Amino acid sequence: MQIGIDSRAAIWYRGTGIGTYTYQLIRNIYLIDKKNEYHFFLPNEKFQGTDPLNSGVFQSISQTKDKFWETVEENHIHPEGMDLYHVPQNGLGLPKEKTCPWVVTIHDIIPYVLPETVGPAYLEIFKKQMPGIIEKADHIITVSNHSKKDLVEQLHADEKKISVIYEAPESTYKPIQKQIAKARVANKYGIEGPFILYLGGFSPRKNLQGLIDAFMKVNQELSMPHKLVIFGRHSPNYQNISAYVEKQGFGEQVLFPGFAPMQDLIFLYNAASLFVYPSLYEGFGLPPLEALACGTPTVVSNISSLPEVVGDGAILIDPYSRDSLAEGIYQGLTDIPYQEQLVKKGLKRAEAFSWTKTAAQTIKIYQQLCEKR
């Protein structure tokens, strides 16, 4: 079979949920499927170093990342000669003409659930295109049972053509010596002493003001005060959060080091005393699973997909309750026997997910659709 995959996000959005999903999907498909021929539709940039994808079959696209979502309707890929075509970035950017079966991966429907938390351009294109994407797709992959439920209940998608295929932590995430991790973080970012870690962006749905308030309440009660370190690119929403921190006088205790490259994340997770992710909505939620894979005690919200992802490997809190969040942070930092138990459960939970599984389950869907033709 000749299978085409829109792979632009693997380069342009690497480090985000959609970018990591696309990269690991095509990488693992390429590694395990020697029967079918894959065409990865990519921008002119190539993967770096010795990545096995560098020897794959590419179809280069003259397009830039700038304003990708705003221009995706005009920047269609034309997958002529394909037996099947897959668009992993929520189905946005499907071809104008349908010449083969279409598979789309819809990670979440945040523009419908929390429209106030996404940018206006993305909101407009998502709401305009999503009903048609769901209707035209021959099969929909989504990344959690919670997202599947949203698709069925809110957008009336046909449950029979939806498959849940989980994402996974990358193999680089694992426990390493704490002292090595702490030394790396101190040398590069100047962060010394115990700290609580958050990473995952500044969108209002990430609930960072709630996290900051809960942290400040807890920090006064700890025998050894911590810092709260919030990593993420300084987007427009960052200005609101940093202004709030300054107004409250929390500037010395809450740090904003900016964007952390992927190669640093293993050190950040391992150096942290606790990872906290109080999001109001996630289609999957990779950062908590990455933290579990590193053996880091983790606190997450008890809503959307997050309980499904972390299982019994993390402390679950109500993100709408500052008291609940504060109690979860306090327990994760002070109850040492429970913390040790949590680390063991978290490592076991993370082992249940793998990108090899994700790729194999996806290939099976490709084969089933092509056999029906």
DSSP states of 244-283: HHHHHT-TTTEEEEE---HHHHHHHHHH-SEEEE--S--S
The predicted pLDDT at position 60 comes to 58
The predicted pLDDT at position 150 comes to 97
Q: Ramachandran region of residue 117, left (φ > 0), alpha (ψ -120 to 50) or beta?
A: alpha
CB-based burial of residue 295 (10 Å sphere; 0-12 exposed, 13-18 middle, 19+ buried)?
Answer: buried
The predicted pLDDT at position 269 comes to 98
Residues of the chain with pLDDT under 50: none
The predicted pLDDT at position 320 comes to 97
Joined tokens for residue 50: 């010795």
Backbone phi, then psi, for 91, in 5-degree steps? 80, -5
E strands in the chain: 2-6, 37-43, 57-61, 84-87, 102-105, 139-142, 162-164, 195-199, 227-231, 254-258, 274-277, 298-301, 315-317
The predicted pLDDT at position 56 comes to 58
Which among 75, 91, 97, 100 has a CA at the least distance from the CA of 3? 100
The predicted pLDDT at position 23 comes to 92
Beta strands 162-164 and 254-258, pairing class: unpaired
Joined tokens for residue 309: 């992802």
The predicted pLDDT at position 364 comes to 97
Beta strands 254-258 and 298-301, pairing class: unpaired
Which among 126, 124, 156 has a CA at the least distance from the CA of 140? 156
Q: Ramachandran region of residue 91, left (φ > 0), alpha (ψ -120 to 50) or beta?
A: left
Backbone phi, then psi, for 295, in 5-degree steps? 75, 30
Q: How far apart are CA 73 and CA 206, in angstroms?
A: 28
Considering only the C-alpha atoms of the chain, give the largest distance between any 2 of them, rounded to a whole number of Å: 66
Q: How far apart are CA 195 and CA 252, in angstroms?
A: 12
**Residues 359, 361, 363, CA angle at the centre, nearest 5°?**
70
